[in-house]
Structure 1
């Protein structure tokens, strides 16, 4: 009996240490979130490949139009939002809900500022002679509108999730009992973990997109 029990434990341990075992231990929430991130990454890779192909095929020299300054400024803002979001797990682990509310609020504000700066960047593109709708010679410029707009749309999805979590944390912080229940609930910890992963992914994604625009625009 003991040897059989030990054998099962060893099999379970080997299975838990394997990639399949780690996937099985993931909660449905985290697994769905990671699959969504993977799908988004594949979509943007395909769009970037299409943009690069169209840009090279157009034969228009790079640097003909300056990249919007608001894109550079928005990149800095998004990096700052990623820093504030990175503080959230530490504050949650320290049971500091009040500071966590401020941290999430700052991230939310920076995310909205990023979206506003992107819109200003689109306006600057039109003033620089890159219309959203034009002939085939400006089709590569239209990819910039499309890719950056899709990125903003996915960021705003993260903003909505962030707002929902912010309201929950703010509500829990008003009462000691609610705060204790909130901190001890593993579902909220997974929510915060998934939101942080998604936000950092959106950040890294934009930095990569900005680098492609910078060198090929």
Structure 2
């Protein structure tokens, strides 16, 4: 029975589309990177409240609210596509993209708040980790933002042509692209929320 289960999972992985495999491997690698960096961050100061004399950046709080909302909009992309509602698909993609841009803007404002409080790369090691962790996350999110914009343009163009719309809606590859985007976006949402909780613990 156990051998059958192992064979089933092996075949499932073996039959996975190369793009899906690459994305999952990339997510696994990114997860390891964040894990090691967050571990180093915690070990750089064994106690919580390292920045207790400072106020937690309000911009980070706002960006966290935005990323939570974007998790909802990204979750609506695929269901809309499955219902052949291209307008809604495009709108949810666009909303997710715009929320991602706003999130990025508030991240920069958060760094400015940290700098104003005297927390920078030249200070205590934990201070530099705040910039490194949030910066690497923003870099990863940047790739998703570019991809989201490409998908918005593609859906917009296809929606104007009945033939292209039909091809888009019936092509499994197009379905997979939206699915991979939604999965990756939720992954990045989860990573930031974990970092956010960790940052709160340090203040």
TM-score band w.r.t. shorter chain = over 0.9
Q: Which SS does the other structure have where 2:119 is aligned?
A: coil
How many aligned residue pairs are there? 200
Query: 1:72 is matched with which residue: 50, 61, 72?
Result: 61
- Does structure 1 residue 196 correspond to structure 2 residue 182? yes
Work out the CA distance in 2 between the residues paired with 1:111 and 1:32: 23
Pairing of 1:59-98 with structure 2 (within 5 A):
61-98=50-87
Work out the CA distance in 2 between the residues paired with 1:211 and 1:176: 47
Q: Structure 1 unaligned runs (5+)?
A: 1-13
Work out the CA distance in 2 between the residues paired with 1:60 and 1:39: 30
Q: Which SS does the other structure have where 2:46 is aligned?
A: helix
Work out the CA distance in 2 between the residues paired with 1:62 and 1:148: 17
TM-score, normalised via structure 2 length: 0.94
- CA shift, 1:16, in A, is 9.2
Q: Is the 8 A contact 2:49 2:202 kept in 1?
A: no
- CA shift, 1:56, in A, is 2.0
Partner of 1:19: 9
Q: Which SS does the other structure have where 1:55 is aligned?
A: coil
Query: 1:213 is matched with which residue: 196, 199, 202?
Result: 199
Partner deviation per Cα, 1:57-106 (whole Å, 9 max, x = no partner): 8x974512122011011000001011001001110000110111111001
Q: Structure 2 unaligned runs (5+)?
A: none
Q: Which SS does the other structure have where 1:56 is aligned?
A: coil
- Does structure 1 residue 134 correspond to structure 2 residue 122? yes
What is the alpha-carbon root mean square deviation over aligned residues?
1.7
Task: Point out 4+ residue stretches in structure 1 off by more than 4 angstroms.
Answer: 14-17, 59-62
Structure number, greater radius of gyration: 1
Partner of 1:119: 108
Partner of 1:174: 160
Work out the CA distance in 1 between the residues paired with 2:63 and 2:49: 26
Query: 1:145 is matched with which residue: 131, 135, 149?
Result: 131
Could you say if the C-alpha distance between residues 155 and 85 of structure 1 is closer, same or farther in structure 2, counting changes exceeding 3 Å?
same
